[in-house]
Amino acid sequence: MKNPVALVTGASRGIGRGTALELAGAGFDVVVNYAGNESAARQTASDCVARAAVIGRNIRAKICQADVGVSADRKRLVGFSRESFGDIDLLVNNAGVAPAVRADILEAGEESFDRMISINVKGPYFLTQLVAKAMIERADQGSSGASPCRAKIVTISSLSAYTASVNRGDYCVSKAALSMLTPLFAARLAEFGIGVFEIRPGIIATDMTGPVKEKYDRLIGDGLTPIKRWGTPEDIGKAVVAIATDAFPFSTGEVINVDGGFHLRTL
């Protein structure tokens, strides 16, 4: 039986890296996608193999440079994944960007908005389309030596999908749009046995949140989240593994909040 195959976008650092490592530990071969940091991607791939070896698993991990916001890159990424490992069992849409400069929504320009939409929305939308077609083809034809896992698509979104930040409206709009990807594809792909899920992270300790660490240390301490700690990339990765290994066989289209309870409304 071959290892199941996971394609993780934006996997060189942060949440993507943590997810790739957790999947490797669960026995997945991993395609580590990156946009620009090749050395970090190579380190992630090496660490994936090492993580699996510690628990006696033999997996493979390969890196592939691709900007998910570029059509030709998306096609090349899917082609590389299939040529390297065969059928894709799991797509993790993780790659995304934040605004280079935070700007009041009354003053913000179009350039940053267009960049957010291209990478955070258009990229995962059309990458999901490509991978979904390949998954449907596999379901129609059957695959010899296929992994026992039902095919899955997981999109990593953000609490910004429903939380207004008036100094980065472009990011919030992009994440709100991204959140619609899951119900759309869940409804379309259920007949083919493909599960589609969204994981909505809260405040996660990554390079992206490093500059605001002091601010969120204080807010978390003051009760912003009922679970009073930062989230970790591994927290997200563990949720992805649960989905990927069929812990929810009668579910699709679900949003899983991994946010320390931030989404709860209390009096």
Per-residue confidence band for 32, with pLDDT thresholds at 50, 70 and 90: very high
Lowest-confidence segment of 53-57, 77-81, 203-207 by average pLDDT: 203-207
Q: What is the pLDDT of residue 159?
A: 96
Is this model's pTM higher than 0.75 or not? yes
**In which residue are the tokens 């929305």 written?**
121
Write out the catalytic residue numbers: 171
Please, is 241 exposed, middle or buried when counting C-beta atoms within 10 Å of its C-beta (0-12, 13-18, 19+)? buried
| Strand (E) or helix (H) holding 7 | strand 5-8
Residue whose C-alpha is closest to residue 152's, from 217, 86, 94, 198: 198
Distance CA 33, CA 78 (A): 10
State how far the alpha carbon of 136 is from the alpha carbons of 79, 183, 249, in Å.
16, 17, 18
Mean pLDDT on 212-220: 90
Mean pLDDT on 34-51: 98
∠ CA(142), CA(193), CA(179), 5° rounding?
130
Q: What is the pLDDT of residue 209?
A: 80
- Crossing angle of the two packed helices 181-189 and 123-141, in degrees rounded to 10: 10
DSSP strand pairing (90-93 vs 61-65): unpaired
Task: Give all strands of the β-sheet with 195-201 in edge-to-edge order.
Answer: 61-65, 29-34, 5-8, 90-93, 152-156, 195-201, 255-258
Compute how many other C-beta atoms are within 10 angstroms of the C-beta atom of residue 40.
18
**In which residue are the tokens 């799991």 written?**
90
Distance CA 95, CA 120 (A): 7
Mean pLDDT on 22-40: 98
Residue whose C-alpha is closest to residue 11's, from 36, 44, 38: 44
Q: What is the pLDDT of residue 145?
A: 53
Q: Which residues pair with 197 in a beta bridge?
A: 154
Please, is 47 exposed, middle or buried when counting C-beta atoms within 10 Å of its C-beta (0-12, 13-18, 19+)? middle
Q: What is the pLDDT of residue 207?
A: 82
Give tens-digit pLDDT for 118-165.
999 999 999 999 999 999 998 877 655 555 568 999 999 999 999 999
Length of the chain: 267
Listed in sequence order, the DSSP H helices in 55-168 are 71-85, 110-117, 123-141
Mean pLDDT on 230-248: 97
Q: What is the pLDDT of residue 212?
A: 83
5-258 to CATH, choices 2.40.110.10, 1.10.4030.10, 3.90.730.10, 3.40.50.720: 3.40.50.720
Per-residue confidence band for 84, with pLDDT thresholds at 50, 70 and 90: very high
